[in-house]
Amino acid sequence: MTQRQRSTLRASVPRPAQSTVLLLGTLLAVESVLVGTYLLATDAAVLSLRYLLYPFVWINLAVLAVRAVDVPVPADRRSVGAAVVAAGYLLVLAWTSGLVGAGSGGALSFRIAPAMPGWGPVLLVGGPVSIALIPFETVGYVALAILVYVGVGRAAAGVLSGLVGLVTCVSCVGPVLAAVVSGLLGGASTAAAGGASATILGVTTGAYAYDLSTGLFVLTVAALWATLR
């Protein structure tokens, strides 16, 4: 490769804005402090480095992706329709991943389960519905729903047609499939229950459930971002 080709290649690769780099650095610094403080204040043990890092991959990527797109306020028929589609998509993700499920039918109850930052603290709600809001999955799925909202709003012409675009549609299925597989191999509910123990860090799930989920999440955000930028 010649010097001219290398210069052209460097010029073609987009460089992140300084504000983006600063935001990512701030997120990483805060997350490092939170993890360090939690490890010092509890008897938690890091049993798997990748499970320690995965939540922050989700959270950081979600924050950066949403920040990088223009998210309009629902103000007309098209944008309201897009918001309904995005809300339905979020509900499917939450249900298939185990964040939201059928309740026991008993009295409404709330509990906070401590866990490693990113995995916790987990908000557990029982009663008519069962809710286990794991921070990184909640943030990640909300971000995906926002990106889908923007994508559907741009794809719809006049009256909402429901057409998102081939890349967006295919990529959006990934997290749903990953959530189903994650549920079959262990599930978010199991991870939330395990998170109440100070020594458990995601190891209550299947061996590769969150590897698959994280990989598909990253690919989905990348595909959505590529169509929206």
Long-range residue pairs from 181-185, CB within 8 A, at least 24 positions apart, any chain: 181/209, 181/212, 181/213, 182/97, 182/98, 182/206, 182/209, 182/210, 182/212, 182/213, 183/96, 183/97, 183/98, 185/209
Q: What is the pLDDT of residue 196?
A: 37
Checking DSSP bridges between strand 122-126 and strand 109-113, what pairing results, if any?
antiparallel
Contact 128, 105 (CB under 8 A): yes
Examine the pLDDT at 134 and tell me if it is beyond 70.
Answer: yes
Question: In angstroms, how far apart are the furthest CA atoms of the chain?
Answer: 71
Q: What is the pLDDT of residue 14?
A: 58
Q: What is the pLDDT of residue 62?
A: 94
pLDDT tens string 87-119: 988 888 888 878 888 877 778 889 999 999 999
CA distance 14 to 121: 36
Examine the pLDDT at 68 and tell me if it is beyond 50.
Answer: yes
Q: What is the pLDDT of residue 170?
A: 43
Q: Which residues contact 121 (CB under 8 A, 6 or more apart)?
A: 112, 113, 114, 115, 135
CA distance 180 to 174: 10
Q: Hey, what are 67's tokens?
A: 């920040």
pLDDT tens string 136-156: 999 998 998 898 888 887 775
Examine the pLDDT at 43 and tell me if it is beyond 80.
Answer: yes
